């Protein structure tokens, strides 16, 4: 967390609220966020105008005039809150700071003021996220360096046959294969649990053991789970767990609650060290 739906929601917030605005002032309160940045300071952005916001996997890229781009990875606990001159605020990512509370928060590490009175607050309670400022022509090269697989949803997203081929090469549990960003870009823990439940697949099934009909179900379920998350503007997190809205998530963080499909109580196991939620009725593992 934040996962693909949260980062996509942030991208849309930037696109709606900041494109066309010029940066007037920058207050970077935690310089180590730029620890891997090709340009060591954000000062070159002052006076530049926001041109576009795009996303690759869980990385947000904001393009500016002056042929500059800012890459942002929110890691485990990043949040972006954009406050406009009319008093509106749009927030996505980690639930800390409280989106309805005062800003800047003690975990707010970057404040950017824009023309027209808009302000963007970047917060990170864990301080694992990073910023990279670089010339726009270098962005694609930088993104290629992560070795991301195809996108999990949206334009250019992975096709069914490509997904099948990538899973066929891996004997590890299917959950771990789907979390591998080199297999599929953007999937995280919440949405993998939801996709596997939707596809009626046990998360410990070897990735290379799936049959054609199971691959059909999984391919459709991946898109379904991420699209549901995007529709909600990302998962709502309460006490470090995803909180269901309109019946989603259906199993993640809902241990002991009835499965919405068969009413069997949801259980929690660990797969590769990751907390994993499933329905023992819908997601049976052969031999158990």
Q: Give the gyration radius of the chain's Cα atoms.
A: 20
Catalytic residue among 75, 89, 200, 274: 274
Catalytic residue among 58, 166, 175, 198: 58
Active site residue 260: no
Active site residue 274: yes
Catalytic residue among 2, 5, 97, 203: 2
Active site residue 35: no
Active site residue 236: no
In 3D, which of 210, 204, 181, 194 has the Cα closest to residue 270? 204
Q: Which two tokens stand for residue 240?
A: 């470090």
By residue count, the chain amounts to 288
Cα atoms found within 13 Å of the Cα of residue 5, Cβ hemisphere only: 22
Report d(CA 268, CA 22) in Å as an integer. Answer: 48
Q: What are phi and psi of 275, to 5 degrees?
A: -60, 130
Catalytic residue among 3, 6, 8, 204: 3
Please give the positions annotated as active site. Answer: 2-3, 58, 274
């Amino acid at each position: 967390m934040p996962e693909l739906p949260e980062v996509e929601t942030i991208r849309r917030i930037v696109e709606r609220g900041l494109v066309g605005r010029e940066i007037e002032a920058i207050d970077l309160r935690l310089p180590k966020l730029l620890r891997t940045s090709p340009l060591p300071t954000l000062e070159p952005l002052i006076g530049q105008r926001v041109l576009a916001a795009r996303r690759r996997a869980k990385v947000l890229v904001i393009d500016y005039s002056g042929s500059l781009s800012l890459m942002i990875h929110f890691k485990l606990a990043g949040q972006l809150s954009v406050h406009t001159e009319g008093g509106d605020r749009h927030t996505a990512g980690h639930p800390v700071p409280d989106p309805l509370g005062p800003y800047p928060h003690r975990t707010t590490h970057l404040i950017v003021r824009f023309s027209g009175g808009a302000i963007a607050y970047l917060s990170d309670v864990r301080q694992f996220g990073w910023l990279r400022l670089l010339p726009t022509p270098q962005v694609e090269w930088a993104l290629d360096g992560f070795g991301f697989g195809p996108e999990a949803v949206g334009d250019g997203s992975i096709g069914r046959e490509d997904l099948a081929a990538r899973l066929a090469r891996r004997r590890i549990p299917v959950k771990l294969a789907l979390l591998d960003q080199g297999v599929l870009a953007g999937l995280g823990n919440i949405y993998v649990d939801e996709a596997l439940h939707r596809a009626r697949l046990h998360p410990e099934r070897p990735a290379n053991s799936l049959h054609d009909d199971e691959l059909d179900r999984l391919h459709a379920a991946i898109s379904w789970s991420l699209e549901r998350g995007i529709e909600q503007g990302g998962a709502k997190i309460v006490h470090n767990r995803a909180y269901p809205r309109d019946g989603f998530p259906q199993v993640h963080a809902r241990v002991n609650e009835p499965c919405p499909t068969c009413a069997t109580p949801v259980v929690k196991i660990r797969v590769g060290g990751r907390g994993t939620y499933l329905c023992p009725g819908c997601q049976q593992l052969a031999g158990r």
